[in-house]
Amino acid sequence: MKTFKAGFLQFKPVHKDIKANLSLIEKYEKKISEADIIVLPELATTGYVFETKDELLPFAEELPVGPQSEFFFKLAKNTDTLIITGIAEKEGTKLFNTQAVFYPDGEFEKYRKIHLFYQEKNVFDMAYNEPRVIEYKDIRIGLMICFDWAFPEHARILMLKGAHILAHSSNLVLPGLGQAGMRIRSIENRVFSITANRFGEEMGFKFTGMSQIVSPGGEILTKANEDEETLKIVSINLEEAENKNITPLNNLKSDRRTELYKKLCHNDT
Q: Which residues bind ligand ACM (CB under 6 A)?
A: 42, 117, 146-147, 171-173
Q: Which of 110, 113, 223, 232 is catalytic?
A: 113
- Could you count the other beta carbons within 10 Å of the beta carbon of residue 35? 24
Q: Which of residues 8 and 136 has its CB atom nearest to ligand ACM in the complex?
A: 8
> In angstroms, rounded to a whole number, what is the distance separating the alpha carbons of residues 138 and 121?
36
Compare residues 27 and 115 and give the one whose CB is closer to ligand ACM: 115
Beta strands at 245-247 and 250-251: parallel, antiparallel or unpaired: antiparallel
Return the number of the residue (164 or 185) whose C-beta is nearest ligand ACM: 185
Distance CA 259, CA 142 (A): 25
Q: How far apart are CA 45 and CA 192, in angstroms?
A: 25
Helix (H, G, I), strand (E, B) or coil at 30: helix
* Dist. CA 41–CA 16, nearest whole Å: 15
List 61, 120, 146, 232, catalytic entry: 146
As measured in angstroms, the least distance from the Cβ of 146 to ligand ACM is 3
Nearer to ligand ACM, 76 or 143 (CB): 143
Q: What is the closest distance, in whole angstroms, from the C-beta atom of residue 265 to ligand ACM in the complex? A: 24
CA angle 200, 94, 58 (to 5 degrees): 55
Q: Annotate 89-121 with b (16+ C-beta within 10 A) or e (fewer).
A: bbeeeebbbbbbbbbbeeeebbbbbbbbbeebe
Catalytic site includes residue 113? yes
Would the CA dihedral through 89, 94, 95, 99 be positive or negative?
Answer: negative
Which residue number, 18 or 172, has a Cβ lying nearer to ligand ACM?
A: 172
Q: What is the largest CA-CA distance in the chain?
A: 56
Find the shortest distance in angstroms from Cβ 153 to ligand ACM: 16
Active site residues: 42, 113, 146
